[in-house]
């Protein structure tokens, strides 16, 4: 079993308006796309120490912490702490909302919508479904208010698109459920035309939706456009490896898995789920071509990994290693 991500789990909250005009905050967006979370936190701490009321920086801190949790699948460990922080940020945004006007007010509405959406994602990943639905509906309400004021605020279409798509896919039996799916895909596609770094977030989300819709050629094209510019971004490397695994395109799956493996080995701290899934896809590819020596070599490397205690709580990690053990067992080990 290879791990698959729901669309928009990563980067979905890193969007911030280009109108902020603050180069430091712009650089934080770059750091989040580069998955340099500690550096992003450090820059945000510097901004907020000088101006605790900077809601642009506060929103990016929400984005940074959520993105790290979801990247490393640490929501079971740090989820409660994140929810508390998100609630405190929401309180600050609400305090500022009534005194803001024009574009600044729209931005604040967007921050509220996406922060509620972030809470919903973490609640959902921890199977807290009532809280997840409550947060999702609050998020949708704020995003609708944003788009009512400015239909060209492309950042808001991603959240709406994800909501519509998953509502439609989970309620296919309801009349017009298929229309919600189509509308959701259209909204997310529209969001890919937004400015950087939001277009990266939207492309990530759209890739996972299109995988579910079995539009594999579109996924391959989207992934390649991002990796041409960010070749070590493990979010898109994992999409590429999982795409070729899912389609049993083993000739492409092997190099994609090895690229993900290299990126995972180079990252600190280690993303254990990425690392073990990269090993598994590579080993499955070698197994398909009956490359016994490679199967045993990579299996040995994977199975001698010493997992820290917290890594054993991460979804899929143990399942990946169990499957690797089963494959290597076919060859006498």
> What pLDDT sits at residue 308?
92
pLDDT digits (tens, 9 = 90+) for 312-332: 888 789 999 999 999 999 887
- Dist. CA 258–CA 40, nearest whole Å: 28
pLDDT digits (tens, 9 = 90+) for 193-220: 887 877 888 899 999 999 999 999 999 9
Q: Which two tokens stand for residue 178?
A: 């298929």
- Dist. CA 207–CA 218, nearest whole Å: 8
pLDDT at 278 over 90: yes
Say if CB 188 and CB 15 are below 8 A apart: no
3-state secondary structure 25-55: HHHHHHHHHCCCHHHHHHHHHHHHHHCCCCH
Instruction: Work out the angle between the directed axes of helices 129-149 and 102-125 (0-180°, nearest 10).
Output: 160
Secondary element (H or E) of residue 234:
helix 234-246
Say if CB 11 and CB 235 are below 8 A apart: yes
Per cent of the chain over pLDDT 90 is 68
Q: What is the mean pLDDT of residues 290-313?
A: 93
270: left (phi over 0), alpha (psi -120 to 50) or beta: beta
Q: What is the mean pLDDT of residues 228-248?
A: 94
Say if CB 30 and CB 217 are below 8 A apart: no
- Dist. CA 31–CA 25, nearest whole Å: 10
What's the Cα-to-Cα distance from 80 to each of 24, 66, 91, 122, 134, rounded to whole Å?
Answer: 29, 12, 17, 9, 16
Q: Choose among 200, 235, 190, 188: nearest CA to 16.
A: 200
pLDDT digits (tens, 9 = 90+) for 81-93: 999 999 999 999 9
Kindly report which listed range (106-120, 175-189, 193-207) carries the lowest average pLDDT score: 175-189
pLDDT digits (tens, 9 = 90+) for 129-159: 899 889 999 999 999 999 999 999 998 999 8
Tokens 């809601």 locate to 55
> What pLDDT sits at residue 13?
47
> What pLDDT sits at residue 7?
38
pLDDT at 261 over 60: yes
| Three-class SS state of 74 | coil
Give the global pTM. Answer: 0.86
> What pLDDT sits at residue 172?
53
- If you ran DSSP here, which 8-state letter would residue 5 be given? P
- If you ran DSSP here, which 8-state letter would residue 314 be given? S
The domains located in the chain, with CATH, are 232-333 (1.25.40)
> What pLDDT sits at residue 27?
87
Say if CB 205 and CB 114 are below 8 A apart: no
Instruction: Work out the angle between the directed axes of helices 234-246 and 250-266 (0-180°, nearest 10).
Output: 150
pLDDT digits (tens, 9 = 90+) for 1-51: 454 444 344 444 444 444 444 577 778 888 988 899 999 999 999 999 999
Secondary element (H or E) of residue 323:
helix 317-329
């Amino acid at each position: 079993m290879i791990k698959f991500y729901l669309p928009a789990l990563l980067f979905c909250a890193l969007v911030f308006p280009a109108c902020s005009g603050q180069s430091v905050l712009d650089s934080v967006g770059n750091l989040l796309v580069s998955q340099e979370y500690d550096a992003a936190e450090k820059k945000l701490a510097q901004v907020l120490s000088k101006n605790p009321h900077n809601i642009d920086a506060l929103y990016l801190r929400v984005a940074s912490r959520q993105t790290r949790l979801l990247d490393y699948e640490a929501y079971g460990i740090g989820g409660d702490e994140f929810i508390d922080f998100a609630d405190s940020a929401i309180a600050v945004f609400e305090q500022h909302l009534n005194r803001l006007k024009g574009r600044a007010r729209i931005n604040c509405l967007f921050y509220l919508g996406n922060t509620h959406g972030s809470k919903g994602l973490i609640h959902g990943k921890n199977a807290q479904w009532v809280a997840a639905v409550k947060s999702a509906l609050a998020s949708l309400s704020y995003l609708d208010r944003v788009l009512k004021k400015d239909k060209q605020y492309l950042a808001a279409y991603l959240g709406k698109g994800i909501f519509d798509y998953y509502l439609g896919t989970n309620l296919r039996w309801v009349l017009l459920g298929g229309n919600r799916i189509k509308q959701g895909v259209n909204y997310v596609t529209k969001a890919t035309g937004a400015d950087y770094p939001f277009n990266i977030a939207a492309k990530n989300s759209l890739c996972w939706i299109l995988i579910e819709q079995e539009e594999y050629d579109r996924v391959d094209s989207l992934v390649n456009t991002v990796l041409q510019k960010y070749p070590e971004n493990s979010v898109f490397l994992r999409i590429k490896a999982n795409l070729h695994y899912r389609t049993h395109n083993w000739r492409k799956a092997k190099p994609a898995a090895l690229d993900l493996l290299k990126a995972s080995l180079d990252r600190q701290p280690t993303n254990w789920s990425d690392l073990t899934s990269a090993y598994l896809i590579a080993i499955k590819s070698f197994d398909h071509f009956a490359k016994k020596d490679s199967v045993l070599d990579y299996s040995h490397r994977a199975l001698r990994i010493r997992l820290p205690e917290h890594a054993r709580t991460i979804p899929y990690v143990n399942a990946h290693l169990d499957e690797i053990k089963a494959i290597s067992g076919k060859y006498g080990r």
